[in-house]
Amino acid sequence: MSEELLVNVTPQETRVAVIENGGLQELHIERSRSRGIVGNIYKGTVVRVLPGMQAAFVDAGLERTAFLHAADMVVHRANGPAPGETPEPSSNAQRPAPPRPDISELVHEGQQIVVQVVKDPIGSKGARLTTQLSIPSRYLVLLPGSTHRGISQRIQDLDERDRLRQTLDAALEKSPTDAGFIVRTVAESQNGVDFSADVKFLCRSWEQIEQKMTTASAGELIHADLPLSLRVIRDLARDDVEKVRVDSRETYAMMRQFAIDLMPEMVERIEVYPGERPIFDLYSVEDEIQRALDRNVALKSGGSLVFDQTEAMTTVDVNTGGFVGKRNLEETLFKTNMEATHAIARQLRLRNIGGIIIVDFIDMVDEEHRRQVMNTFERALARDRTRCHIADMSVLGLVEVTRKRTRESLERGMTEACPICQGRGTQKTAQTLCYEIFREILREARAFEAKGYLVMASQTVIDMLLDEESTGLADLQEFIGRPIHLQVEPVHNQESYDVVLM
């Protein structure tokens, strides 16, 4: 599988497209006026403690107070595993973990604490925080204040885990430190890799952060994660990446120097794109972005997917559409579902949809077909860099997927609710508005004395009052004994109007 990374840089934003086998798979956007803050470390002040929720709200100098749950707080225990890491198997019986202290025992209002952002503010929710600090590099994650040394849970091969543990131990012998480390998933199958450069880089970074922690005031940023152009090299540039093309010479120089310091094997793969044609036009990336904002996704067979995002979850409906198949109905449904598995996995990555996702596959009778669809869907999701969990298909053909969410989806980041329908996706008909206006005039006539009434509305509504509803308008004038005048108001959308007393 060939892979390229395209980096488009302007003063306003940086965009990164992940291209696999000539097709857009992921899109990352960072705008200068609204950079993501995941990974940033702040000195915050606890402003409210909620024992009933086992959480606290922290003022970290952001637009909204941020959320800190007791489960995301460091509780110092001797030789305990790092949060989110599975302890290595042991022949000794596992002792039950001691109960976690109450949030009131961990923090109090007015207390200053150092916190790290693990989720960007999404919608009306503030950022989510943790006191379990972590500093990532290419292959490793440094865990200050922890002694745990572990391997990413996504690396499941026991021999590979042992090999990576030995490689980490060898690097730590050269640069001894008491800090904890986790080997990242990207290190899997990296033969001959030496973690020494990562260990030195992380220890230097942590020394600088520690120095600033002692002098920082409340609400101050202590450490900011790398800009997107450098995170591309650190997080996305794997062995199968053939080229990293960037259309800015200044950014190219910065990326190249970063690679020299941390990832020398990537230096020759980074190149400046000199073409006059915009870099995102190389693989029709702009067109793919526009399609990714659509509700409907067409399948090659003639079927389709329908995506609906809500506050609580995202639903994906699989339809046969114009696909009629060649053999029988069951075969048609099976082929549509099989094609949908790859398309859904790609769209989840491209649209960056997180949280709970419910996929409504077309119901199939054949159990073997259901099994094949699930296996194919699991393999398609396994290529996702973001952690996904998939549940078994229900008797109704529903599959529940959870995908880790750390930032806004593509739709939420690039669009806003329609000012006319307020995000409903529909608007009232002109006829409905005519009847609302009739009721409003009746209400005003009973409450106030007036010589007449002026209705100001959109062109569509006025046209209907003068045409299809002209009889109703005449009957209303006769009933209230007052004239009703009509005026087109260009600033009004179809759902807005004014009734003015004359």
**pLDDT at site 501:** 92
**pLDDT at site 327:** 64
Which CATH number applies to 41-82+102-223: 1.10.10.10, 2.40.50.140, 3.40.50.300, 3.40.1350.10?
A: 2.40.50.140
Sequence-distant contacts of 225-230: CB under 8 A, at least 24 apart? 225/37, 225/38, 225/39, 225/40, 227/14, 227/30, 227/35, 228/14, 228/16, 228/28, 228/29, 228/30, 229/7, 229/9, 229/14, 229/16, 229/254, 229/255, 230/254, 230/255, 230/258
Alpha-carbon gap, residue 170 to 166, rounded angstroms: 6
Alpha-carbon gap, residue 220 to 62, rounded angstroms: 10
- Regarding pTM above 0.85, the answer is no
Alpha-carbon gap, residue 284 to 22, rounded angstroms: 10
The residue type of 327 is R
**CA distances from residue 68 to 28, 119, 127, 130, 339 in whole angstroms, order as listed:** 26, 11, 9, 6, 41
Using an 8 Å Cβ cutoff, are 410 and 293 in contact? yes
Q: Tell me phi and psi for residue 432, to 5 degrees.
A: -60, -40
Domain coordinates of the chain in residue numbers? 3-34+228-285, 41-82+102-223, 295-414, 430-501
**pLDDT at site 396:** 84
> CATH topology for 3-34+228-285?
Nucleotidyltransferase; domain 5 (3.30.420)
**pLDDT at site 96:** 57
**pLDDT at site 78:** 43
Which CATH number applies to 430-501: 3.40.50.720, 3.40.1260.20, 2.40.10.340, 3.20.20.70?
A: 3.40.1260.20
Q: Tell me phi and psi for residue 499, to 5 degrees.
A: -115, 115
Going by C-alpha positions, the residue among 36, 388, 10, 18 that lies closest to residue 235 is: 18
Using an 8 Å Cβ cutoff, are 232 and 244 in contact? yes
Structure-block tokens of residue 176: 């001894």
**pLDDT at site 49:** 94
**CA distances from residue 486 to 181, 216, 219 in whole angstroms, order as listed:** 73, 64, 56
Burial of 434: CB neighbours in 10 Å, binned 0-12, 13-18, 19+:
buried
**pLDDT at site 97:** 57
Using an 8 Å Cβ cutoff, are 317 and 279 in contact? no
Using an 8 Å Cβ cutoff, are 413 and 29 in contact? yes
Name residue, tokens 């994650």: 141
Alpha-carbon gap, residue 266 to 43, rounded angstroms: 35
**pLDDT at site 86:** 38
**pLDDT at site 414:** 87
- Averages of pLDDT over each 10 residues, the chain, 502 residues: 88 93 91 85 94 93 92 66 40 55 90 93 86 90 89 88 91 87 85 81 90 90 91 84 93 92 86 91 90 91 90 90 66 90 95 94 90 94 88 90 86 83 84 95 91 94 94 94 94 91 90
**pLDDT at site 243:** 93
Alpha-carbon gap, residue 219 to 222, rounded angstroms: 9
Alpha-carbon gap, residue 343 to 25, rounded angstroms: 10
Q: Name the maximum alpha-carbon separation found in the chain.
A: 96
